[in-house]
Every structure is written in C-alpha cells, then in structure tokens.
C-alpha cells in the first residue's frame, strides 16, 4: 500500500508492534513492523523500550527512504494500554513483560480478564494465585510492568523539560523510576558522566524549574564543571583563588558564595585542597586520589627495588659482540639501571638509540628467564614498538584489560587483586600517558615488578589530564638516563637532525632538491591550504608514489582557520573522496562522513566490536586510531570502518566519536608515525606557535616532511620554548613523600 503524507502536518497512527527488525539499546533507535489502520507498515524512531506486542500511538511523518521505500518516522510516541482481554492476551503473549510467555499469559488473562494489567500494577502478589507463579515471581512481574510503563511516564515529563528520548533513556538507566524527582530536586545531576549534559544545558533546565543563582547545587556543580572542564585542558588541579574567581563570573554570584561552595565540595569529599609553593590548590577527589596513589607507589618502588641482575657488564659485552655494535656510555648506563633498579625513565630524541637500548634490555630479560610486557598508549604506538623490538606489544588499555562499567567509567581487569603476571613492564611513549592511566598501570604491577618508562620529554604532554613524564622527570627522585648522541646513520636524515635543531631553539635547515625535509613557501593561509591539498592529492603521489590515504598525513597545529583541520578536511575530502551518486553519507555530531573517507577515533571506546582478517573477534577502538569508512547501512545506521587489519562496526551513537582524518591535529598524532607528513605553519593562533608542538609534528615523519609556510613562521615556532602550562598535584605529592 502506498501513502502520500510527506510534507503534510504530523500524522498520528495507532497500532501494534508485530516484530522488531533492528534496535540500538544505547540510544533506543528502532526499526519495526507496525500493524495499524494502514495495514502492516515499517516504522522507525527512538523508543525507550520496545517489544513485540506493544500497543503504541505514534506521531510523525510518512517518508520515502531511498533504499527501503516508504516508512513512518515517529517523532514522538505514547504507549497505549491494551483494554480488552483479547488485546491484553496478545500483548502479554508476545513477551512484552519479562517472565511471561504465551502459556502463562493465557492463565493470567483467563483468571483476571480485563483487570489483568491493573492487578499487575497495583496488586502483583495476586498473580501467585495461579499455579506455577510463586510470590517472588509475581512481584518481579509487577516490577517489570511498572518499569515499562514508569519509563513512559518519565519520558513524557522530560519532554516538557526539553530532554530528548535518547537522553531520557540515559537518565532512566541511571536513576530508575525516581528519575523525575531526582532531576527536579537537583537538575545538575544531568552533568553526571553517564548522562553527559553540559553545565550550560543543565543550567537551562534548572532555570526552567525556577532555581536561584546561588542555589547550593548550582554553585557546587558550577565549580565541578570548571574543574572537569580543565581536566580536558590537561590540569588535574587549579589554584583555589582562580577557581573562586572563575566560578563567580560563570554563575553570577559573589566570590564569597563561590568560596563557600568550594568548602562544601571538600566537606562532601567531592574535592580536595592542598598547598604547593605557598598557594592553595583544589582538585576533584578522583583525580587527586589517582595522583596521590602514583606518588605513594613510586615511593614504595624506590624503597623496595627488585633483586638486581648480576654480571651485567659481561652480558652487555656479549650482546655487542653478537650484533657487531658498540653501546655508548649513556646506553650502557640505561641498560644497567633498567635491570638493577626497580624503576627507570629513559628519554631521548629521534636517532639517539632508544630502540637499540631497549632491544638490549629485552635480550637480557629473556636470558634471565624473566617475564616482561611491552606496552604503549595507542594502537599505532604499540604496533611500532612491536615492529622495532620484534616482540609483541599491546596498548596499555589491552594490557590492563580496560573496559567500561555500567555507569560508563573506565575500569581495569588487571589491578591490585588481579595483578599482571610479569617481572617487568616497558612502556613506550610515556609522554602520552595521563594520570588516571598511569595509576591503573601502577595498581596492576605486583611488588618487585620493574617499570621501564621510555619517552621524549620534548614532545607534547598527554591529551588527558596530567603531566606524568614531565612531573616524574622534574622531581629528581627517579633514575633518569637521557640519550643525546645522534648516531651516524640517523644523521643522514634531515628529519632527525632538524628535530634536534628545533629542540635546541634553532630553525631547521631545508633541503633544496633532494632530501627528506622541505619548505613550500607561502604566507597566505588560504593559498597555503590550497598548496597542502595539492601536495596531498597530486604532487607527492606523483613524485614519490605515496598513497594519500595510507602514506600521507596532514598535521595541523590548530582546528580552526584556513589551515586548521576543519577546513582542510573538507577540502581534502572533496579532492580525494568526492561525492558520487549512490555513495552513502552519514552526519555525526562532528562531521558529515561519506563512504571512502579517512576517519579518526576521537576517544577511547571499549565497546565497539571488531573482527580481524584472520577471524579473531574483539572490541575496543582507541583515541587516535585512523581508518577508512567502508560502508554505511542506512536502515540500521551501522557504519563499517577498517582499521588496519580490523573491521569495526559502529552504532549510530558510537559513530559520534568519528571525525574526518585527512588532516588531524598534532596532538592527535602523538604515538603515530607516517611515511610522509605535511604541516602548515601559517594561519596558526599565536598561543599554538611553540617549539614542542612543531617538534612533535616533525618527529611523526619517517621518510618525508614538508612544511607549508614561511621561514619566519617556522623559526618563530622553533624559538618559542613556552611549555604548555599544566597544573598538577603529582610534583607536590612526590616532594611531600620525599620529606
């Protein structure tokens, strides 16, 4: 049957759910067959709960899908209670209520008739009068019924607050039947991580409910918002006076009121205060606890080192002879320290022999019969570590068996109760490790396990909160070996030599005709963007045979402007993957993606399922992983993305974590290497024109590095040694333990 209601006023239809074709339990998006006055039709929309047999009143529009034809798109709905005995029997027999099958449904309706649903809601224990239904089972049936229809009532009330179906589902999962009361009392509960409202959005709901500016829930939530927001800027704490000032401006209250709010947060143990350099700081309790644990565990590891490996000098000499190499003084020092002490930081720039040193450490561990684990923060970094050492390396999340609990918080299967069965852990790219991940690693290490931390302190700090490598290095409490000699083979690369020039504050030297480090001169950001696109799409593939998708990566200091990731991704997507008839597209919160686009995962997600080419199955994709969007199922909203040898399946909710990746920020590139890197250096905000950002970008290139800008802009970045300021508690806690 054909319908032609498109473009008209909303249509209201009533009927029964016959069967469910697809359902996403996370956001409630459903595709199902619906029996109504028009016969059996296909209906789609977001539904809090849905079962075959449900009687619904839908409001929405008929529309024609390009592939699946005509269907009814429900914008809102109401669950209708079946009224007749026949309708109730059909409803219950379809399995709408957990614990009731067709046989039990027939017995219940035979006994209570049209009063069946009233009995289930108000007098569920009466169901135990029926043979085979215990009192306990009767009460569970009553609870399931109330849950189903209670959720409907909750959602209807939330609609009036401007809260969507998907959001209502998350709220109900968190607070249950008392959701409305809890949110009405304190709307700032909407800011809980598993619900995910911004403070501004929750504040809007609160104002609609009539809450005053100085309401204690509002003030406390505003302060928490400031501290949480600054976690995303890398700060694990902030000066208290700064927080008070920010909160007063944000909330429109006095500084005294904000100061009292800080006190209440601390009294409730939602925040902690401490002193550093004569100044009071405030931190959210969870992140403060993490840094406190890290400081305490470091102190323990320094006090109780493992038994040292003996005869190291002869073992090192044997490795040198076997491999025809000679370690320099610092490399030997690193090998000895790693194996004789419980903890070590090994740092150095490109070409200084970090990998060669690691191989020696690994060889001696193997010779001693010691079990070791290799890990890195990202999948790309772990793969590179595996390739360079010849041993399996895992992401830290895999090593620690990370997963999300029912409330969306990260937990680790490996912890104090179930530690890693290993004698040594070697972590590469430590600069990328944030405070919470470092805490998880230390908790998973049994007493006596060695920790060898490898990183480049001149690179950008972690995307997450904290400055672990910098704080540990600067504390002066840990053994540190800095490799600073550039080996002859590495010196043949201008990428390597220029990286060291940049670190020392000097401008790089550019290749003229041959080489691996070039400058394409351009002062105009708009023209520079065009040249970046030209290099990526035609010039470099023609000159070097590079694949624009697999080999070339554009790295941008900024997201904004003509040379930012936003504009360049659109430009490159049009060039490298232009729209075509029949090529599916999907709009996320971040971008409009089309099949064939290069995409990046923007946060850790432990639930995304994947299958490898060899048939192995698993779940989890991680922040910074880059892949190719292979297909989009328009009916289900499922996206298929290839990450190397793995195919991952994204639901419509998970897909919001994807963004285009023809161009990514330098920050997102940490831990990765690419055959060819292009970096625009004009049109950059002044606050991003600093040395370690340029250095991090340059050191991502393996074979070719092309800067697009001016010699002046590059020199300005190399000269600017301003470090990214991060407020952290770890240095103060390490000093405290030392005393």
pTM: predicted TM-score of the whole model, two decimal places: 0.75
pLDDT > 60? residue 648: yes
Among 325, 725, 312, 706, smallest CA distance to 543 is for: 706
pLDDT at 156: 64
Provide mean pLDDT across the span 302-316: 85
pLDDT > 90? residue 426: yes
CA distance 630 to 638: 11
pLDDT > 90? residue 88: no
Provide mean pLDDT across the span 466-495: 85
pLDDT at 76: 79
The conformation of residue 114, written as its DSSP 8-state character, comes to: G
The CA-based diameter of the chain, rounded to the nearest angstrom, is: 92
pLDDT > 80? residue 244: yes
CA distance 336 to 329: 11
Residues pairing with 13 in the sheet: 58
Most confident of 107-121, 320-334, 431-445, 509-523: 431-445
CA distance 388 to 358: 9
Confidence of residue 180 (pLDDT cuts 50, 70, 90): confident
Among 248, 231, 324, 322, smallest CA distance to 282 is for: 231
Provide mean pLDDT across the span 98-125: 86
Mean pLDDT over the full length of the chain: 86
- The pair phi, psi for residue 620, each rounded to 5°, is 110, 120
- The pLDDT tens digits for 549-565 are 999 999 999 999 999 99
pLDDT > 70? residue 737: no
- The pLDDT tens digits for 352-401 are 888 889 999 999 999 999 999 999 988 778 888 898 888 999 989 889 99
- The pair phi, psi for residue 349, each rounded to 5°, is -85, -175
pLDDT at 1: 44
Residues in the chain, total: 739
| Lowest-confidence pick of 170-179, 300-309, 573-582, 718-727 | 170-179
Among 159, 141, 150, smallest CA distance to 178 is for: 150
Confidence of residue 84 (pLDDT cuts 50, 70, 90): confident
pLDDT > 90? residue 328: no
| Lowest-confidence pick of 29-38, 137-146, 252-261 | 137-146
| Lowest-confidence pick of 399-408, 445-454, 634-643 | 399-408
pLDDT at 680: 95
Tokens of 399: 């090593």
- The pair phi, psi for residue 263, each rounded to 5°, is -60, -45
């Amino acid at each position: 049957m054909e319908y032609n209601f498109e473009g008209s006023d909303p249509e209201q239809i009533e009927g029964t759910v016959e069967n469910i074709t697809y359902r996403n339990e996370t956001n409630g998006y459903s595709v199902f067959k619906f029996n109504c006055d028009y016969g059996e039709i296909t209906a789609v929309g977001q539904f809090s709960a849905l079962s075959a047999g449900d009687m619904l009143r839908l409001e929405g529009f008929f529309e024609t899908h390009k592939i699946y034809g005509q269907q009814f798109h429900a914008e809102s709905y109401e669950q209708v209670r079946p009224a007749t005995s026949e309708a109730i029997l059909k409803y219950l027999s379809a399995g709408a209520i957990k614990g009731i099958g067709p046989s039990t449904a027939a017995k219940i309706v035979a006994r209570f008739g049209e009063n069946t649903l009233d009995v289930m809601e108000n007098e569920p224990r009466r169901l135990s009068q029926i043979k085979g239904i215990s009192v306990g089972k009767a009460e569970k049936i009553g609870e399931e019924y109330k849950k189903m229809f209670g959720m409907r009532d909750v959602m209807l009330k939330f609609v009036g607050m401007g809260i969507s179906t998907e959001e209502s589902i998350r709220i109900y999962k968190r607070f249950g039947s008392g959701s409305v009361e809890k949110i009405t009392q304190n709307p700032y509960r909407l800011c809980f991580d598993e619900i995910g409202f911004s403070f501004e959005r929750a504040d809007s709901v609160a104002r609609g409910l009539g809450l005053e500016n100085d309401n204690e829930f509002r003030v406390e939530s505003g302060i928490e918002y400031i501290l949480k927001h600054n976690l995303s800027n890398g700060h694990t704490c902030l000066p208290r006076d700064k927080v008070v000032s920010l909160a007063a401006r944000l909330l429109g209250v006095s500084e005294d009121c904000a100061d009292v709010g800080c006190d209440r947060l601390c009294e409730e143990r939602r925040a902690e205060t401490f002193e550093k350099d004569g100044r009071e700081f405030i931190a959210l309790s969870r992140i403060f606890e993490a840094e406190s644990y890290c400081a305490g565990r470091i102190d323990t590891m320094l006090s109780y080192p493992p038994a040292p490996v003996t005869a190291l000098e002869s073992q090192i000499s044997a490795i040198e002879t076997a491999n025809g190499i000679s370690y320099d003084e610092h490399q030997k020092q690193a090998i000895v320290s790693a194996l004789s002490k419980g903890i070590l930081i090994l740092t150095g720039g490109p070409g200084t022999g970090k990998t060669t040193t690691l191989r020696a450490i690994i060889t001696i561990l193997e010779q001693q019969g010691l079990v070791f684990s290799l890990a890195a923060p990202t999948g790309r970094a772990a793969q590179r570590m595996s390739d360079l050492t010849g041993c399996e390396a895992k992401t830290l999340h895999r090593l620690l068996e990370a997963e999300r609990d029912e409330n969306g918080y990260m937990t680790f299967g490996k912890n104090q109760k179930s530690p890693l069965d290993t004698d040594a852990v070697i972590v590469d790219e430590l600069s990328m490790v944030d405070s919470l991940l470092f805490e998880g690693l230390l908790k998973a290490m049994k007493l006596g396990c060695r920790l060898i931390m490898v990183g480049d302190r001149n690179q950008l700090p972690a995307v997450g909160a904290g400055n672990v490598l910098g704080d540990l290095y600067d504390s002066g409490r840990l053994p540190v070996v800095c490799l600073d000699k550039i080996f002859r083979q590495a010196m043949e690369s201008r990428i390597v030599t220029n990286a060291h020039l940049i670190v020392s504050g000097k401008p790089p030297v550019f290749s003229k005709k041959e080489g691996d480090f070039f400058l394409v001169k351009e002062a105009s950001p708009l023209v520079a963007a065009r040249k970046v696109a030209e290099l990526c799409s035609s010039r470099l593939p023609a000159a070097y045979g590079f694949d624009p998708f697999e080999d070339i990566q554009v790295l941008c200091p900024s997201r904004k402007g003509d040379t930012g990731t936003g504009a360049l991704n659109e430009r490159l997507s049009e060039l490298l993957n232009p729209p075509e008839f029949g090529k599916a597209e999907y709009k996320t919160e971040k971008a409009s993606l089309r099949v064939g686009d290069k995409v990046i995962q923007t946060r850790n997600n432990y639930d995304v399922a994947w299958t490898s080419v060899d048939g192995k199955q698993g779940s989890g994709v991680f922040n910074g992983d880059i892949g190719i969007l292979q297909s989009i199922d328009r009916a289900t909203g499922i996206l298929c993305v290839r990450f190397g040898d793995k195919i991952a399946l994204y639901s419509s909710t998970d897909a919001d974590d994807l963004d285009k990746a023809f161009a990514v920020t330098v920050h997102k590139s940490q831990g990765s290497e690419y055959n060819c890197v292009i970096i625009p250096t004009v049109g950059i905000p002044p606050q991003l024109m600093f040395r370690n950002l340029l250095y991090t970008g340059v050191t991502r290139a393996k074979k070719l590095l092309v800067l697009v800008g001016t010699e002046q802009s590059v020199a300005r970045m190399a000269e600017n040694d301003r470090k990214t300021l991060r407020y952290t508690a770890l240095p103060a806690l390490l000093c405290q333990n030392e005393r």
